[in-house]
A and B are shown apart, each in its own frame.
Chain A
Amino acid sequence: MEENRVFNLTSSPQLRSEHTVTSEMMNVIIALLPASVFAVFHFGLHALLVILMSIVSACLTEFVFDYIAKKPNTLTDGSAVVTGLLLALCLPPSVPLYIPYIGALFGILFSKCMFGGLGKNFMNPALAARAFLLISFGKVMTDYSTDALSGATPLAILNEGRTVNIGDMFLGLVSGHIGVSVGLLLLGGIYLIWKGTIKWLIPVSTLGSFVILMAIFGSEGLDFKYLLAELCGGGIVLGAFFMATDPVTSPMGEASQIIYGCFIGFLSMIFRTKSGMTDGTSYAIIVANMIVPLLDKYVITHPFGIGKKGQTLPVPGAETKKGLKIPMSAALLAAITLIAGVALAGANALTADRIAENALAEKLESYSSVVPDAESFSYDDGVADAIEKMSGEIYGGGSFGKAYINEAVVGTDASGNVIGYAVSATSMEGFDGEITLSVGFDTDGTVLGIEFTVINETAGMGMLATEESWKSQFAGVKTDAFILNKSGGSTAANEIDSVSGASRTSGAVVNAVNAAIDFYQNYIAA
């Protein structure tokens, strides 16, 4: 019967699971869909275009590379789509379309194809693309404003010490990158863990260590609401579930995964609390990607049973004890965070007071310098309430550009008489983003002077605005608004000569000062 038949000869196992590389990638795409669809409804159609452009660019790059390099076409595995989608989710919603195009092209070409394609890249291509875009197009990459929303992300607001609505952040009803809906991303992440597509230890140890470390070193300490806000802000959830877990660039062993996750949590905390960036999760993951080969090489998982012997032989008749064992992984996770925590806590305790003192002193100094006669400063409840009500929105509905009012204080002399006011205002439209300054007023509304507290403009150009000679143009003028004179040679008192070659910086400063004047007239004088 079977004499002339040919049977296939293979080595066992003769069964294969239904998982394929394509199905794994499909799982990731499915997990990201809710957040992507939400983003389109929340930010508008442009977000959809950004997502599509990013995916098309990623696929096209891979296709063309495969064609030129005479490699088999690898588009069907779906990994390029995942890269494109992930990149889009960490871009601001209103970026021009060349941004996702260039980003995906860079990520796929230089971080994936050049290293041998799928499975060979040493760094997550989407994050490599984002890092590249941030360096090359810093301005548009940090502008989170859309037609409907202001540019200040909740995390930026949080960094300034103001309160945010955590519920809105969780749902994604705030400004931010396209993947803004933390709740939906979390849902996707849980789906992936359930499907077994991602290594669950990585997001758990990343987020776990991040929260613990933020509780120790964050500006608010062990405050539940603050920690939740930090978790919901920025890209930590997107990163922990979808980027840190990129299979190719994350470690294999369980112990390695925990170390890797804690490392990301640790770096994210450092970048958030100590660096100039509002959020550094993407850099944290890229740096952690670098240590993966080392972890794979040196942290070797012990096989079943090794190092677990030495249990006493069970007494016959007694039920074998299978008591609660703390999993090795959990113990390791706890130990690593504890050690890192204690070490940092020590360093922090030594420096924290001084850093806080310095910041306060700097602020007070700026107030003192703009209201020089004041002996002390205090808050006015009515004014503080008015600022609270603005809850981080652009001041004046955009008539001063992207300007914000941060704080206003009342200056009194030695005998307690009010002699002036100081208003802290910010414009986000400096050449390098934020410019924050204090404006001093006397009691009849004359500007006494201005002083910068945050300014990072180009040295020798925009930074010339900090020169006394330029700042003094504002002093002693009583006006409803200053006017920028870009050609120089001003005659009127409320005309300000632009800093040569830095009209953008000058414009931002004038806008911020005008916002402060407007605030003074409407909320303090009134």
Chain B
Amino acid sequence: MAIYSFKGGVHPKENKELTAEKAFVELVPQGDLVYPLSQHIGKPAAPVVKKNDPVLAGQLIAQADGFISANIHSACSGKVKAIERRLNASGVPCDCIVIENDGQFTPAPGVGEKIDYSGLTSQEIIAKIKDAGIVGLGGAGFPTNVKMMPKNPEEIYHIVANGAECEPGITCDDRLMREHTDWVVEGLRIVVSLFPNAKGVIAIEDNKPEAIRIMEEAVKGDDRLSVLTLKTKYPEGGERNLVHAVTGMYMESGALPASLGVIVDNVATLAAIYRAVAYNEPIMTKGFTATGDAFNAPGNFIVRLGTSLREIADAAGGLKDGAKKLILGGPMMGPAISNLDAPLIKANNALTAMMEDEVEKAELEMNPCIRCGRCTRVCPLGLVPQQMAVACERNDIERFVKLNGADCIQCGTCSFICPAKRPLTQLFKQTKPVAMSYIRMQAQKKEV
């Protein structure tokens, strides 16, 4: 079978062997669970509980406020301890609902009951997805129900289940596909059923042969589903690259996959959709990888949303003495965090802890750019990072935009490959928002 891929990309050390064979362990939180009201793209949710209100596991505690927003549910039973400002993982204060966990996890009525969903209409299914507060669990956090409502449902031809998991070290999607195969496959079937002309494709990198085998087994006999093997390369799971690898089509900059007749969903999102539709269960838990040399016992966990990262780190055996860096997510795109106080939110999928020597290797002194062109060759979007960086350093936004800098997805490949250790991605992260507002300003000028 042909292995699909894209031009560019890099091969960082995969580090998957640390946790790939570690089955999910359910983590039972002991402390309070904390729910930031903003853990998705869009408007923060509006609380529907007050301090001291009793809550049950699966109960709605904050409601989607607007079209692009998402419901939030409590993952434990207990009572509302506070609604207050706390720091999120990036150190930014935001409103949070704090639930005092009574340790019972008593479910709310109806939650977790198996129901027959074969008779549900598309509208009813989408409503269930919306009620369950499901957002893109791969990291973007875009409300999934919005994605399920394109203008012309009959013009959607591909539903791509993103099981690429190209970030080094993370294995929770791999484990999910292997341990809860039916959740993913059924979730994909449900989504495919919403679109009369659609076919489902489960796209998996070829470094997960076991997941590929199990998935192929599971879709056998269903002519609307198939499995596609992708080449193991970072960032294979990036949306534009994935759509190209699967369909051969190129997404225009700023376009949504739906404009090409494609909808991309992470495998974890599909599993959540299945749980929501078949068990009436809002999104309460998440597969999560705690990995890195600095953990005593790295592994995969089923974690309740709102659990503090510290409890997860403890479950992974705690940090070793030489731990020097904590990364929320994988090492390529995840930000470093200063402490473990923050809670797990929907978009998180991994915690990576690095030892001192590894950190030193990654924080070498910067040299002058020798224009070697490696960044250009690896950029998955075919940009010229070296030129963009010059534009950034000169604060020349016009030039940055001209070089299509606004298309940068900040995947980190250019910084990764750079022999001179220049902070390319880092510069683009700073400049892209400025560039976007510049583009908007230009557009407004044109209108006037």
Interface on A for B, CB 8 Å cutoff? 1-2, 5, 7-17, 19-21, 23-24, 77, 79, 117-120, 196-197, 199, 247-250, 252-254, 257, 296, 300-306, 308-309, 311, 313-314, 316-317, 320-322
B374: min CB distance to chain A, Å: 6
B442 at the interface (CB under 8 A from A): no
Q: How many interface residues does B have (CB within 8 Å)?
A: 88
Query: In the bound complex, what is the Cα–Cα distance between A303 and B376 (angstroms)?
Result: 11
**Which stretch (B30-38, B60-68, B337-345) binds chain A?**
B337-345
Enumerate chain B residues within 8 angstroms of A300, measured Cβ to Cβ.
384, 402-404
Enumerate chain B residues within 8 angstroms of A257, measured Cβ to Cβ.
373
Cβ–Cβ contact A7 & B260, under 8 A: no
Enumerate chain A residues within 8 angstroms of B370, measured Cβ to Cβ.
21, 24, 79, 118-119, 247-248
B185 at the interface (CB under 8 A from A): no
Cβ–Cβ contact A7 & B381, under 8 A: no
Cβ–Cβ contact A17 & B10, under 8 A: yes
Enumerate chain A residues within 8 angstroms of B168, measured Cβ to Cβ.
15
Enumerate chain B residues within 8 angstroms of A254, measured Cβ to Cβ.
376
B288 at the interface (CB under 8 A from A): no
- Give 7 closest A-B pairs by Cβ, nearest first: A305-B250, A13-B412, A119-B368, A19-B419, A14-B331, A247-B372, A304-B381
Enumerate chain B residues within 8 angstroms of A196, measured Cβ to Cβ.
374, 377
B155: min CB distance to chain A, Å: 7
Cβ–Cβ contact B404 & A7, under 8 A: no
Cβ–Cβ contact A14 & B332, under 8 A: yes
> Contact check: which of B197, B199, B336, B376 meets A252 at CB < 8 Å?
B376
Cβ–Cβ contact A313 & B373, under 8 A: no
Contacts known (A24-B419, A119-B368, A308-B250); A16 close to B429, Cβ less than 8 A? no
27 A-B residue pairings within 8 Å (CB atoms): A1-B318, A2-B340, A7-B336, A9-B337, A11-B429, A12-B329, A12-B425, A13-B332, A14-B354, A15-B12, A16-B416, A20-B421, A21-B420, A24-B372, A118-B367, A119-B370, A196-B374, A248-B371, A300-B384, A301-B376, A301-B383, A303-B253, A304-B6, A305-B240, A306-B253, A308-B250, A311-B248
> Contact check: which of A8, A120, A253, A309 meets B324 at CB < 8 Å?
A8
A29: min CB distance to chain B, Å: 15
Cβ–Cβ contact A322 & B417, under 8 A: no
Contacts known (A252-B373, A302-B382); A12 close to B244, Cβ less than 8 A? no
Cβ–Cβ contact B419 & A303, under 8 A: no
B416: min CB distance to chain A, Å: 5
Cβ–Cβ contact B383 & A303, under 8 A: yes
Cβ–Cβ contact B199 & A8, under 8 A: no
**Which stretch (B75-83, B112-120, B356-364) binds chain A?**
B356-364
Enumerate chain B residues within 8 angstroms of A248, measured Cβ to Cβ.
370-371
Interface on B for A, CB 8 Å cutoff? 2, 4, 6, 10, 12-13, 155, 157-158, 168, 197-199, 240-241, 244, 246-253, 260-261, 313-314, 318-319, 323-327, 329, 331-340, 352, 354, 359, 361-364, 367-374, 376-377, 380-384, 386-387, 402-404, 407, 410, 412-413, 415-421, 423, 425-426, 429
Enumerate chain B residues within 8 angstroms of A15, measured Cβ to Cβ.
12-13, 168, 331-332, 362, 412, 416
A4: min CB distance to chain B, Å: 11
Cβ–Cβ contact A313 & B261, under 8 A: yes
> Contact check: which of A8, A302, A305 meets B244 at CB < 8 Å?
A305
Cβ–Cβ contact B369 & A119, under 8 A: yes
Cβ–Cβ contact A322 & B318, under 8 A: no
Enumerate chain A residues within 8 angstroms of B158, measured Cβ to Cβ.
314
Main secondary structure of the interface of A (DSSP, over half): loop
Nearest A-chain residue to B251, judged by Cβ:
A305
Cβ–Cβ contact B377 & A10, under 8 A: no
Enumerate chain B residues within 8 angstroms of A9, measured Cβ to Cβ.
336-338
Nearest B-chain residue to A3, judged by Cβ:
B339
Nearest B-chain residue to A325, judged by Cβ:
B248
Cβ–Cβ contact B382 & A16, under 8 A: no
> Contact check: which of B157, B362, B419 meets A14 at CB < 8 Å?
B362
> Contact check: which of A14, A250, A311, A320 meets B371 at CB < 8 Å?
A250
Enumerate chain A residues within 8 angstroms of B415, measured Cβ to Cβ.
13, 16
Query: In the bound complex, what is the Cα–Cα distance between A249 and B369 (angstroms)?
Result: 12
Enumerate chain B residues within 8 angstroms of A302, measured Cβ to Cβ.
382, 404
Contacts known (A24-B370, A252-B373, A301-B383); A16 close to B244, Cβ less than 8 A? no
Q: Which of B250, B323, B410: most chain A CB closer than 10 A?
A: B250
Contacts known (A9-B336, A15-B416, A311-B249); A247 close to B371, Cβ less than 8 A? yes
Cβ–Cβ contact B381 & A17, under 8 A: no
> Contact check: which of A2, A118, A304 meets B241 at CB < 8 Å?
A304
Enumerate chain A residues within 8 angstroms of B329, measured Cβ to Cβ.
12
Q: Which of B325, B337, B377, B419: most chain A CB closer than 10 A?
A: B419
Cβ–Cβ contact A12 & B335, under 8 A: yes
Query: In the bound complex, what is the Cα–Cα distance between A14 and B429 (angstroms)?
Result: 14
